[in-house]
């Protein structure tokens, strides 16, 4: 029994979510809750990137410097899908986040999965 390959349109949207490593949603790490919700809603995929240094609206510096181990490091969650599927995900995301930054960018998908741009 094979897995049906999902196709992405060439013109898609990149949803980028900036949060802190210590942020929570229902006692679970926020980044994990977001990725699991994206999976539940059958979005094309999600990636969490951990930053060694960053600051946000408070200008408080978060760093991996040795004297401040794991000081609420910045995380970026990236999700690429069709504009319609991203728009459907935004209300769920809004319900999970109390702070953070969310951006959208138009992107072109050149390859997704084993085939190039959904070609058979």
- The domain limits of the chain are 11-111
What is the dotted CATH code of the domain comprising 11-111?
3.30.70.120
Q: What is the pLDDT of residue 76?
A: 97
pLDDT band at 9 (very low <50, low <70, confident <90, very high): confident
CA dihedral 62, 94, 25, 64 (to 10 degrees): -10
Mean pLDDT (the chain, rounded):
85
Average pLDDT over residues 90-113: 94
Q: In whole angstroms, what is the distance from residue 62 CA to residue 39 CA?
A: 29
Residue 6 CA to residue 19 CA, distance in Å, equals 28
User: Residue 93 pLDDT more than 50?
Assistant: yes
At residue 105, the pLDDT reads 98
- Average pLDDT, integer, range 71-84: 92
In this prediction, residues 1-22 reach a mean pLDDT of: 82
Contacts of 2 (CB under 8 A, 6+ apart): none
Q: Which of 47-51, 68-72, 114-118 has the lowest mean pLDDT?
A: 114-118
Determine if the pTM surpasses 0.85. Answer: no
Q: What was the pLDDT predicted at 35?
A: 98
Whether 1 has a pLDDT exceeding 50, the answer reads no
Considering the chain, what percentage of its residues have pLDDT values greater than 70?
A: 77
64 phi and psi angles, rounded to 5 deg: -95, 10
């Amino acid at each position: 029994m094979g897995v049906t390959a999902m196709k992405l349109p060439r013109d898609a949207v990149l949803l980028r979510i900036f949060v802190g490593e210590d942020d929570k949603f229902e006692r679970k790490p926020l980044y994990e809750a977001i990725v699991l919700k994206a999976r539940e809603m059958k979005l094309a995929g999600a990636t969490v990137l951990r930053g060694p240094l960053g600051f946000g609206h408070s200008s408080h510096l978060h760093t991996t410097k040795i004297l401040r181990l794991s000081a609420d490091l910045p995380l970026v969650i990236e999700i690429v899908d069709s504009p319609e599927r991203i728009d459907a995900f935004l209300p769920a995301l809004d319900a999970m986040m109390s702070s953070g930054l969310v951006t959208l960018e138009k992107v072109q998908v050149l390859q997704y999965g084993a085939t190039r741009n959904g070609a058979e």
